[in-house]
């Protein structure tokens, strides 16, 4: 299987017009490619299905229908902050979804560098709310609102992606009985009940509340080290009051009310988000409903401060989300399954739990979560679920496996702030992670070269070269760059309106560790040639860091006119 970030030599042509260029995201249900639409000369994102089971089987057919539904759902949502679907083509008897390519990073990636200010969180939340309201107006509930599905594009654009498990009201569920899919710590409690009572637009507002909490505090209030304890925190405890939310704090806590009818409506949420984003007074003071049951500070399964790294940099483009917790849960057969459907994710798909017999009504097993102190009663739908949940815990069969990568994490290079380095002599602005600094510069025979690294002897080095007075095409330059190397790969592409550009990827076999070289070569309309290049040791952890560095610098590179 190819890795994220891999360029494709002579990329496959899909639907007679979409040339696959680079894999930018992958999950259990699909792969997202950066592609070039040869008919209208633009880059797009293409989602390739990866469906389970026998093509003639029920599981395969259900997954295929779900992909059709994702395209139909997203195409019905008309809003600047909702990802645009361009096309659906049939390839190998499967639906491939073509959508806009949103360059930038996800909110998940941004939060990997730390929380944002309340005003910025409100601005992002207002855009997401607008997309959700547009979806709700045509009968669609998104059901997977999380930072990894919110992309931050150029010009302060915010885009909500991935309607893969969206519920289209009035349509039959495509989810098998007892099957539950979603990003657990962002899923409303009513969606986990056997009846699915109230799992409508209010459940999206609950998820938006968790997203806002994570944006200002740095993590979800329900984040735990295991799926079991995360579920328990959502169903049985209240979140601790946010300490950095400022005027957003009261709104966030009201959005996280366990009863859907107790949450504020979209209009009120929008008015408060607008006020906070613009620095105005919040309209109306929220009425306190009494003390809330805070999760104790000393919770045994609290998330450690340092989490394991995801091996790849953050994927780019629509539906190329960063990692998020996606749990597959076998629910007790005594209660109907909620109307849910699995969604393609760019994470490893967890192993489904085995089928379970109906659980006896036993008392819940001890769990280190808070218990109500204010006398507030749990929702009716939560009680039988908690009883069954306790029985399954005792049997040791709650989920079959503990999901790896439950917690959102960020790649090392992607998690650092990116700093602008204006290179006026080259008429360019190079954006790099904060530790990188210029370590060398050279001017020779019509070529200017600047080199950046963490230190003068740093292993990962990135170079930007400007050449003038040359008539060679980018492809010719790429051939010269890779001459004498192993298995060079070339991909025609475009860059900021310049259609004459090539991506090159090769390995230099010198003494010691082979060096992988990734480069972008661009020829501008006024005859300048630019080469952005990263050298990295092949087959080492630094190769993955170098790949992330190249992709991030490539997507942020800005060229100016002479």
Find tokens 């007074």 and name the residue. Answer: 281
Percent of residues in the chain assigned helix, strand, coil, to nearest 5: 25, 25, 50
Q: Which of 385, 410, 398, 27 is nearest to 227 (CA)?
A: 398
DSSP conformation letters of 111-166: HTT----HHHHHHHHHHHHHHHHHHHHTTEE-----GGGEEE-GGG-EEE---TT-
Q: 41 an active-site residue?
A: no
Q: What token pair was written down for 237? A: 């405890």
Tally of CA atoms within 13 A in the half-sphere of 496 that contains its CB: 17
3-state SS class at 46: strand
Q: Which of 537, 531, 491 is nearest to 516 (CA)?
A: 537
Find tokens 């910025």 and name the residue. Answer: 120
Q: How far apart are CA 103 and CA 555, in angstroms?
A: 7
527: left (phi over 0), alpha (psi -120 to 50) or beta: left
Enumerate residues 6+ apart whose C-beta is below 8 A from 293. 237, 238, 370, 371, 372, 373, 374, 376
**How many Å from the N-terminal Cα to the C-terminal Cα in the chain?**
43
- Among 87, 144, 347, 408, the active-site one is 144
477-508 b/e (C-beta count within 10 Å ≥ 16 → b): bbeebbeebeebbbbbbebeebebbbbbbbbe
Q: Which of 409, 421, 452, 220 is nearest to 314 (CA)?
A: 409
Enumerate residues 6+ apart whose C-beta is below 8 A from 487. 506, 507
CA distances for 114 relative to 110, 415, 525, angstroms: 7, 9, 40
3-state SS class at 73: helix
Task: List active site positions.
Answer: 144
């Amino acid at each position: 299987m190819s890795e994220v970030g891999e360029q494709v030599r002579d990329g496959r042509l899909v639907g007679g017009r979409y040339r696959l260029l680079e894999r930018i995201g992958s999950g259990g249900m699909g792969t997202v490619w950066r592609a070039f639409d040869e008919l209208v000369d633009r880059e797009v994102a293409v989602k390739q299905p990866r469906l389970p089971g026998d093509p003639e089987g029920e599981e395969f057919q259900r997954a295929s229908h779900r992909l059709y539904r994702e395209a139909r759902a997203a195409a019905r949502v008309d809003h600047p902050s909702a990802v645009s679907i361009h096309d659906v083509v049939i390839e190998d008897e499967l639906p491939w979804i073509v959508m806009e390519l949103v360059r930038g990073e996800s909110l998940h990636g941004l939060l990997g560098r730390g929380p944002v200010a309340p005003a910025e969180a409100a601005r992002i939340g207002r855009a997401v709310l607008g997309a959700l309201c547009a979806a709700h107006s045509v009968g669609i509930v998104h059901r997977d609102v999380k930072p990894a599905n919110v992309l931050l594009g150029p010009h302060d654009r915010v885009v909500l992606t991935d309607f893969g498990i969206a519920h289209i009201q009035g349509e039959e569920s495509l989810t098998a009985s007892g099957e539950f899919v979603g990003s657990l710590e962002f899923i409303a409690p009513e969606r986990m009940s056997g009846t699915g009572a109230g799992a409508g637009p209010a459940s999206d507002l609950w998820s938006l509340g968790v997203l806002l909490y994570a944006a200002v505090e740095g993590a979800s209030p329900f984040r735990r080290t295991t799926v079991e304890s995360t579920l328990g925190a959502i169903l049985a405890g209240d979140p601790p009051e946010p300490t950095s939310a400022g005027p957003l704090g009261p709104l966030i806590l009201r959005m996280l009310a366990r009863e859907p009818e107790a949450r504020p409506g979209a209009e009120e949420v929008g008015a408060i988000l607008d006020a906070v984003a613009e620095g105005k007074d919040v309209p109306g003071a929220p009425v306190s409903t009494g003390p809330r049951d805070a999760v104790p500070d000393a919770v045994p399964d609290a998330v450690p401060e340092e989490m394991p790294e995801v091996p790849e940099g953050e994927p780019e483009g629509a539906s190329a989300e960063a990692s998020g917790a996606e749990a597959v849960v076998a629910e007790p057969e005594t209660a109907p399954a909620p109307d849910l459907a699995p969604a393609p994710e760019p994470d490893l798909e967890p192993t489904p739990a085995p089928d379970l017999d109906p659980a006896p009504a036993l008392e819940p097993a001890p769990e280190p979560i808070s218990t109500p102190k204010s006398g507030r009663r749990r929702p009716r739908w939560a009680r039988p679920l908690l009883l069954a949940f306790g029985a399954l815990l005792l049997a040791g069969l709650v989920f079959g496996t503990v999901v790896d990568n439950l917690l959102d994490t960020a790649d090392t290079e992607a998690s650092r702030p990116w700093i602008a380095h204006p290179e006026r002599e080259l008429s360019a602005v190079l954006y790099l992670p904060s530790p990188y600094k210029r370590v060398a510069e050279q001017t020779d025979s019509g070529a200017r070269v600047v080199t950046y690294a963490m230190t003068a002897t740093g292993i990962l080095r990135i170079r930007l070269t400007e050449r003038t007075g040359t008539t060679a095409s980018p492809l010719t330059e790429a051939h010269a760059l890779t001459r004498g190397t192993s298995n060079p790969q070339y991909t025609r592409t475009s860059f900021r309106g310049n259609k004459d550009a090539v991506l090159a990827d090769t390995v230099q076999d010198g003494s010691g560790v082979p060096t992988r070289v990734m480069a972008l070569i661009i020829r501008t309309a006024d005859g300048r040639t630019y080469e952005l290049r990263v050298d990295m040791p092949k087959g080492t952890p630094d190769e993955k860091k170098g790949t992330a560095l190249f992709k991030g610098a490539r997507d942020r590179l800005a060229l100016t006119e002479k």
